[in-house]
Amino acid sequence: MFKVIAIANQKGGVGKTTTSINLSSSLAAAEKKTLLIDIDPQSNSSSGLSVTNHSPSVYEVLIGTIDINDAIINTYMPFLDMLPANINLVGAEIEMVDLENREGLLKKALSGMQKDYDYIIIDCPPSLGLLTLNALTSADSVLIPVQCEYFALEGLGQLLNTINIVKQHFNKNLTIEGVLLTMFDTRLKLSHQVAEEVKKYFGEKVFDTIIHRNVRISESPSHGKPVILYDAVSSGSKNYISLASELLQRNSSV
């Protein structure tokens, strides 16, 4: 089983990076060989796994000055590797504009990775620019985190439109892996209402697993650890282990 999953939503603060770190770590904990690609200039997925200002990075891979295998690093977790980002990625979109096949640079770099990994998780920036386009062009599917707060569905139409454009022009096999409800607060009526709306909109695409608000999830990045290592018995840890399990189950028949 080899699958590339982009985690995308143009809205910021919905749990993309949190999900990228914790889903990839949970897959690795299940002994699935996993690569986490940080393609967000904020490089929070990198720092969330204690990788800061690492060079070479995904930037050099995209502009073609280094082979991807020379930029991938081992993390402190068995089965989890990382292609980190750093501040250089901020100007990458401008530099990529004039490059040939600019939408397919990451896909080209990833060719041949099937033998090395079971899953590749890509943490996308909160925009629909060239970096996200590269992620969607190279991905088999998109996982969309949606926070259980006001304006949850705002902008999703534009994301779905972008996914359709990518399918038409660059990646006809791209599918929606699933929609993940995040920041769910059982005490709030609003969380339940948003969950109902999202399920009404996306139907079976919504994961059964819901990521609840949990202070351990918020604290773990400052310690450079995924929540499963920071506090293995927390509800946040259990949520992400459950998500990984559901993802594996969904893909077991593929």
Contacts of 172 (CB under 8 A, 6+ apart): none
Our count of domains for the chain comes to 1
Segment 80-85 mean pLDDT: 96
Residue where the block lists tokens 């982009």 = 6
Residue 144, token pair as written in the block:
């969309």
Q: What is the mean pLDDT of residues 85-109?
A: 91
The predicted model scores a pTM of: 0.95
User: What is the CATH number for 96?
Assistant: 3.40.50.300
Residue 128 has pLDDT above 90, yes or no: no
Measured CA to CA, the distance from residue 61 to residue 198 in angstroms comes to 36
Taking 90 as the threshold, does the pLDDT of residue 252 lie above it? no
Per-residue model confidence as pLDDT tens digits over 167-183: 999 999 999 999 999 99
Local confidence band at 236 (pLDDT 50, 70, 90 cut-offs): very high
Structural domain for 231, as ranges: 3-251
